[in-house]
């Protein structure tokens, strides 16, 4: 492989890892914020904003679960890739093919969980914004 490809592949791996972790942190933070709103006696919702808030809680919870799944699948992907490289060096073709298949499967799973994470985080954040603007409308728009 060319040196440029290896370098850019390293950048790609680092960026995906950073992005997964960033959205995991944002999802946990948004979920924690939502639960602090539940404890606030002045925060009352009815009708559509209440439904938006409930959807937000569910979506943010799913985002956290999806994020954790993506991080774990990524970890196993790296492990199987390393085992494939070791099998290649020992010239164990069949074992290498098994590790390559597992790594490829986990790589696709990681990307699917990443997009799931983004979609559920976006939905949760939108619902949270609607709920906050509705719940504190009298304070915000004075």
Per-residue pLDDT tens over the stretch 104-113: 888 889 899 9
Cβ atoms 99, 81 nearer than 8 A: yes
Mean per-residue pLDDT of the chain: 86
Nearest 5°: phi and psi at 116?
-65, -45
Maximum pairwise Cα distance, the chain: 72
Is 0.75 topped by the overall pTM? yes
CA 84 to chain centre: 26
* pLDDT (average), residues 31-36: 92
How many Cβ atoms are within 10 Å of 128's Cβ, its own excluded? 22
pLDDT above 70 (res 48): yes
Cβ atoms 45, 120 nearer than 8 A: no
How many Cβ atoms are within 10 Å of 52's Cβ, its own excluded? 20
Cβ atoms 135, 98 nearer than 8 A: no
* pLDDT (average), residues 95-101: 77
5-to-2, 11, 83 alpha-carbon distances in Å? 5, 10, 21
* pLDDT (average), residues 26-52: 88
pLDDT above 70 (res 40): yes
């Amino acid at each position: 492989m060319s040196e440029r490809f290896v370098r850019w592949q390293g950048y790609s791996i680092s960026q995906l890892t950073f992005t997964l972790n960033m959205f995991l942190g944002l999802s946990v933070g948004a979920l924690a914020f939502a639960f602090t709103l539940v404890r606030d006696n002045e925060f009352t919702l009815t009708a559509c904003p209440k439904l938006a808030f409930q959807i937000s809680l569910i979506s943010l919870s799913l985002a956290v679960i999806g994020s954790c799944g993506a991080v774990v699948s990524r970890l196993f992907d790296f492990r199987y890739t390393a085992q494939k490289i070791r099998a290649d060096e020992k010239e164990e073709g069949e074992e290498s093919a098994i590790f390559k298949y597992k790594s490829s499967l986990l790589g696709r799973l990681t990307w699917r969980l990443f997009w799931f994470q983004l979609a559920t985080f976006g939905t949760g954040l939108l619902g949270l914004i609607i709920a906050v603007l509705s719940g504190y409308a009298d304070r915000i728009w004075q």
